[in-house]
Amino acid sequence: MNADVTIYWRPGCPFCTRLEAIIGADRSKAQWRNIWQDADAAEFVRSVNDGNEVVPTVVIDGIPMTNPDPAVVKEALAAKG
């Protein structure tokens, strides 16, 4: 499996910081979109979170997940090889 992973985040988010720390070196395999600097990213996050800007919102192979278990994200990124 070669997962496509996009991580929507914002500065100061402790859950985003935790996710980044846990995925470690594999972080570079994901596309990171800062919802405070990217209006389209913020709009997307609101669209999948009942109008709220809840981060991290992670999309793996087209499936959005709100504040997912970091192990799931790490596994998807590790699969990218």
pTM to 2 decimal places: 0.93
Position 1 scores a pLDDT of 44
* pLDDT confidence tier of residue 80, bands split at 50, 70 and 90: confident
Average pLDDT of the segment spanning 15-31: 94
- DSSP per position, 12-69: T-HHHHHHHHHHGGGGGGSEEEETTT-HHHHHHHHHHTTT---S-EEEETTEEEES--
Position 5 scores a pLDDT of 96
Rounded CA gap, 25 and 27, in Å? 5
Average pLDDT of the segment spanning 10-27: 95
Query: pLDDT (tens digit, 9 = 90+) per residue, 59-69?
Result: 999 999 999 99
Query: pLDDT (tens digit, 9 = 90+) per residue, 34-74?
Result: 999 999 999 999 999 999 999 999 999 999 999 999 999 99
